[in-house]
Structure 1
Amino acid sequence: MSKKVIGVDIGATKTRIGIVKDSEIIKEKTFPTSSNASKEKIIEELALGIKSLAGDDFAGIGIGVPGLIDEEKGVIFDLLNIPSWKEVHLKDYLQDFFKKPVRITNDANVFAVGEKMFGLGQAYQNFIGVTLGTGFGCGIIIHDKLYSGSFSSAGEFGNIAYLDKTIEDYCSGKFFQQQYGLTGNEAYKLVSSGDEKGKKMFMEYGKHLGEALKLILNILSPQAILLGGSISKSFKYFEESLQETMDSFPFQRVRKQLTIKPSEAQNMAILGAAALILSAEPELLKPQ
């Protein structure tokens, strides 16, 4: 059996596909997601994209999507940014097309699985992968296994009420947009230039994120919380206020054992998607 595995990251604006072998992406391609097209057209474009990149020389396909998934059946439900994807039997379609195994989960779960197999998560039995980007997502690893809950929806802490809105409004890119009228990228450029307003923004952001992570610590008490997504690249600008907020956690023995780190990996969306297949079939990891 081939030891190459396909990892797919389906987003609202673009789809990324990579061939993963020996823990590395050896070839990849990106193309626009036809978000407003029919579900059949989007599926066909995905299948043809995989075919053009890898042919049939791979062992399986792992996919991450930002939505609800019946992981056993491989059915995707109600993708907010792809209106036609109300109920998509993607696993059946791709398995019929390629005659290869297919596994699908939420994109935050993909990040956590990728960190467990390829990243900092290798050092921990129990950790949470938190993605900080346009949204606030969490993937949960318990005793070295992904816990995804019903419809891949475990860990949706971003929906919990916080202040006048939700955790996601204060702990994702929405914070910079709603509070300061800036995109996350614009906020990063501002703080990285040494601007005082930028520093203030990220200190404030770190306090809000600290409150969210204290909630996670109360509920799941992991060994580590690993941060991914575009905002995690700004970790040094909000680390101080984040850690200060975390220090108010009431159980200091629990607080002191907790590690909070940004991911060190590149392209974890593709690597993590491939890890869905590799974790199910570990023999594929053995050197040829």
Structure 2
Amino acid sequence: MKEYCFGIDVGGTTVKMGLFRVDGELLEKWEIPSRTENEGKAILPDIAEAVQKKLEERGIEKDSVTGIGIGVPGPINAEGIVPHTANLGWGYKEVTRELTELTGLVSKGGNDANVAALGEMWKGAAAGHKSGVMVTLGTGVGGGIIIDGKIITGANGAGGEIGHIHVEDAVDWNCGCGNQGCLEQLASANGMVTLAKWMIRQGADTKGTTLQPETMTAKDIWDAVKADDAFAKDVAERFGKYLGLALANVASTVDPEVFVIGGGVSKAGPVILEYIKKYYLKYTFRGCRGAKFVLATLGNDAGMYGSAKLVLEQ
């Protein structure tokens, strides 16, 4: 009888690892370093070694383990193949095949943002819903789309790349993807700061603001919003417009029950939802106006939960 599974969330600095029961109970979590040198050759062997040690430590037989789910930054297709992942040093890599060979356990892979969305749908803020979209507002803007409990990955593993929806024609600097005017450039943690500085260059009224352009962070901006700083509130309005517009476009395509907002920027709390939903309701198709907006609850554990769910669903 299969009683356990592993959920693995691979990041550029650390690998978050979780041992789960098949009902979703997290028994233990820990981290190991992501050794990205030498094209990341040690990452999967390190994961395999950590899994084996945990099994031995707890006296768990491999026959009772469903498998290993693994989330990675960047596109990964249904066969578990990564074409390229800069943060890890990987070029073309058959991730799940290699991990299975190293561990003797079935493995299944997914994009980190997608599996985080799956985790929130399973055991987090969107539990009980079958269709939802998670938006992760961190260094960039990540996205994951879950329809009828299944991740929408797309033909090339790029489904849910919400951060690269075009939202602004006037942007004249490049996004990391090479395009201009992407949501990620204006609504991520870094993007909010960039947006504020751009507004200042455009002649925005900053009289009385407490924000210091040279040192401000997204947290500073939201703290100033809560303190009724007029300029900060103008920045929040633009942020809400861009994100609300992008999510309205997503809703018209997939019609989700719920939007889950996560990542570092979401720590600003419910105030962030007010600005997003205001513009979402302005731009969205009438039939999609009933979508709920909630803040993520699993935090950095979402990827582990989603990866575990991924392997349980095969």
Q: 1:26-45 counterparts in 2 under 5 A?
A: 26-45=27-46
Q: 1:12: which partner in 2?
A: 12
Q: 1:136: which partner in 2?
A: 141
Unaligned runs of 5+ in 2: 172-180, 197-214
Alpha-carbon distance between aligned partners in 2 of 1:250 and 1:71, rounded to the nearest angstrom: 31
Structure 1 residue 200, shift from structure 2 partner? 5.2
Give identity over the alignment, percent: 27
Q: 1:173-212 counterparts in 2 under 5 A?
A: 173-180=189-196, 182-184=216-218, 187=221, 190-191=223-224, 194=227, 196=229, 201-212=235-246
* Structure-2 change in CA distance of 1:107 and 1:71 (3 Å): same
Unaligned runs of 5+ in 1: 281-288
Secondary structure at the counterpart of residue 44 of structure 1: helix
Structure 1 residue 94 and structure 2 residue 102: aligned?
no
- Once structures 1 and 2 are overlaid, which stretch shifts more, 177-186 or 44-53? 177-186
Secondary structure at the counterpart of residue 100 of structure 1: coil
Larger Rg: 2
Q: 2:81: which partner in 1?
A: 75
What one-letter code is carried by the residue in structure 2 that aligns with 1:259? Answer: K
Structure 1 residue 17, shift from structure 2 partner? 0.7
* Structure-2 change in CA distance of 1:37 and 1:146 (3 Å): same
Structure 1 residue 186, shift from structure 2 partner? 5.4
- Equivalent pairs, count: 276
What one-letter code is carried by the residue in structure 1 that aligns with 2:37? Answer: N
Q: Deviations over 1:23-53 (max 9, x none)?
A: 2222121122122333322222222222233
Structure 1 residue 9, shift from structure 2 partner? 0.6
Structure 1 residue 107, shift from structure 2 partner? 0.9
* Structure-2 change in CA distance of 1:54 and 1:131 (3 Å): farther
Of 243, 250, 260 in structure 1, the residue corresponding to residue 293 of structure 2 is 260
- Once structures 1 and 2 are overlaid, which stretch shifts more, 231-240 or 7-16? 231-240
Structure 1 residue 243 and structure 2 residue 277: aligned?
yes
Q: 1:171: which partner in 2?
A: 187
* Structure-2 change in CA distance of 1:185 and 1:81 (3 Å): farther
Q: Deviations over 1:40-85 (max 9, x none)?
A: 222222222222333464331001111121222x2222112123x0
Secondary structure at the counterpart of residue 109 of structure 2: strand
Alpha-carbon distance between aligned partners in 1 of 2:253 and 2:310, rounded to the nearest angstrom: 26
Q: Is the 8 A contact 1:24 1:271 kept in 2?
A: no
* Structure-2 change in CA distance of 1:157 and 1:4 (3 Å): same
How high is the TM-score relative to the length of structure 1? 0.85
Structure 1 residue 168, shift from structure 2 partner? 1.0
Q: Is the 8 A contact 2:219 2:268 kept in 1?
A: no
Alpha-carbon distance between aligned partners in 1 of 2:125 and 2:5, rounded to the nearest angstrom: 21
Q: 1:285: which partner in 2?
A: none
Of 236, 254, 257 in structure 2, the residue corresponding to residue 220 of structure 1 is 254
Q: 2:114: which partner in 1?
A: 109
Structure 1 residue 276, shift from structure 2 partner? 0.5
* Structure-2 change in CA distance of 1:195 and 1:128 (3 Å): same
* Structure-2 change in CA distance of 1:194 and 1:49 (3 Å): farther
Q: Is the 8 A contact 2:140 2:188 kept in 1?
A: yes
Q: Is the 8 A contact 1:63 1:105 kept in 2?
A: yes
What one-letter code is carried by the residue in structure 2 that aligns with 1:68? Answer: P
Q: 1:64: which partner in 2?
A: 71
Secondary structure at the counterpart of residue 123 of structure 1: coil
Alpha-carbon distance between aligned partners in 2 of 1:108 and 1:250, rounded to the nearest angstrom: 23
* Structure-2 change in CA distance of 1:191 and 1:27 (3 Å): farther
* Structure-2 change in CA distance of 1:98 and 1:32 (3 Å): closer
